[in-house]
Amino acid sequence: MSFTSERLRHVYRQMKTIREFEERLHTEIATGEIPGFTHLYAGQEAVAVGVCEPLTDADYIASTHRGHGHCIAKGCDLTGMMKEIYGRRDGLCKGKGGSMHIADFEKGMLGANAIVGGGPPLAVGAALACRQRGDGTVSVAFGGDGSCNQGTVFEAMNLAVVLKVPAIFVFENNGYSEHTGVSYAVGSKDIAGRARAFGMPAETVDGSDFFAVNEGMRRAIAHAREQGGPAAIEAITTRFYGHFEGDPQRYRAKDEVARHRETMDCLKRFRARMAKDGPLSGAELDAIDQVVVAEVDTAVKAAKASPLPTEADLTTDVYVRY
């Protein structure tokens, strides 16, 4: 796959936006102004962006509790997201959802999900709609390594094979489900192998390399369109912060994050690739960084300045009132 310079700038900008969004949240959360539990996506950007790059608004994704990256990669409005995370009335879900429940149906974003394993069956249903429409669209189920132990995910994978729907299961293996390591919790230690056992092609890709993820995703899409059935990707990745903000991470070796920041940082990897093969220059990428930092700053300021929901909002968006 060869990308135009413009497309590469877009890709880098999205990855940088996710990184900046999450790092800014990391500092803002420390001030105590952001309610609830926030799961940061920093470290995994190449997965969301690699997967969503070939998609349009007509394709679907179902996300997870660690969903900010998926939202940004699928084109959700940054300010609308930030307002939602701050619990504001003009947030993407009117402040009723929060970080773990951002959704944007115009962008084909079927919602972040706080139930591990809640999303994949939904993604299979959306894939069924894609198949009925016959327009070549696909539906992506994002999930972590931990989610692959959930019965709902097994059922969703098998159903997708049986119904031959264009569902793509993306397992982001960041090494941990909460405080438990994947080598303990995933008996076979091979998530792609599990997906294969259900009767779909599956491959393991380097989740810190945008190009590796993207190529895997393009093969999965081609399979879904041409063979009319699901495919799976296991992306090996890492998270740069705790499970949620405030996690002391005692399960992790002291130097693990620092090491991963050296070797598994998708932004560094992208920059190295550009330095070697082009076409983007370091200066061009620096310029994107500046734009992104300003954009996230604007989103934070807008979020802090926007109105909170009122008591009357408690019983809007319900079917029945008593």
Partner 1 sequence: MPQLSMRDAINQALHQEMARDPRVIVLGEDVSGGAGGSSNEREASGGIFGVTKGLLPKFGAGRVLDTPISESAIVGAAAGAALAGLRPVAELMFADFVGVCMDQIYNQIAKFRYMFGGKSTCPVVIRMAMGAGMNMGAQHSQSIYALLTSVPGLKVVVPSNAYDAKGLMIQAIRDDDPVMFFEHKALYPRKSEVPEEAYTVNFGEANVLREGDDATVVALGRMVVFAEKALDGLAAEGIKCDLIDPRTTSPLDRRTILQSVENTGRLIVVDESPPRCSVASDIAAMVASEGFESLQAPVELVTTPHAPVPFSPGLERSYVPGPQKIADAIRRSLKGRR
* Interface with Mg ion (CB under 5 A): 144-145, 174, 176-177
Nearer to partner 1, 56 or 183 (CB): 183
Nearer to partner 1, 16 or 260 (CB): 260
- Whole-angstrom Cα distance, residue 97 to residue 101? 5
Task: Count the neighbouring beta carbons within 10 Å of the beta carbon of residue 96.
Answer: 15
Tell me which of 144, 207, 229, 242 binds ligand TPP, using CB under 6 A.
144
Please list, residue by residue across 125-152, b when 16 or more beta carbons sit within 10 angstroms of its beta carbon and e when fewer do.
bbbbebbeeeeebbbbbbbbbbbbbbeb
* Strand ranges (E), the chain: 60-62, 139-144, 167-173, 176-177, 180-181, 202-206, 231-236
Q: Which of residues 143-172 bind partner 1 (CB under 8 A)?
A: 146-147, 149-152
The interface region with ligand TPP, picked from 3-11, 138-146, 197-205, 265-273 by CB under 6 A, is: 138-146
Nearer to partner 1, 152 or 158 (CB): 152
Those residues whose C-beta lies under 8 Å from the C-beta of residue 70, and which sit 6 or more positions away, are 41, 48, 52, 61, 63, 64, 109, 112, 142
Stretch 263-302: interaction string toward partner 1, x if CB under 8 A: ----------------------------------------
Tell me which of 77, 251, 273, 284 binds partner 1, using CB under 8 A.
251
Please give the C-alpha separations between residue 137 and each of 57, 78, 168, in angstroms, as whole numbers. Answer: 10, 25, 11
Q: Which of residues 69-128 bind ligand TPP (CB under 6 A)?
A: 114-117
Tell me which of 17, 63, 64, 113 binds partner 1, using CB under 8 A.
113
Work out whether 186 is an interface residue with partner 1 (CB under 8 A).
Answer: yes
- Whole-angstrom Cα distance, residue 16 to residue 256? 22
The interface partner of residue 194, options being partner 1, ligand TPP, Mg ion, none and the CB cut-off 5 to 8 Å by kind, is none
**Interface residue list for ligand TPP (CB under 6 A):** 65-66, 114-117, 143-147, 174, 176-178, 243
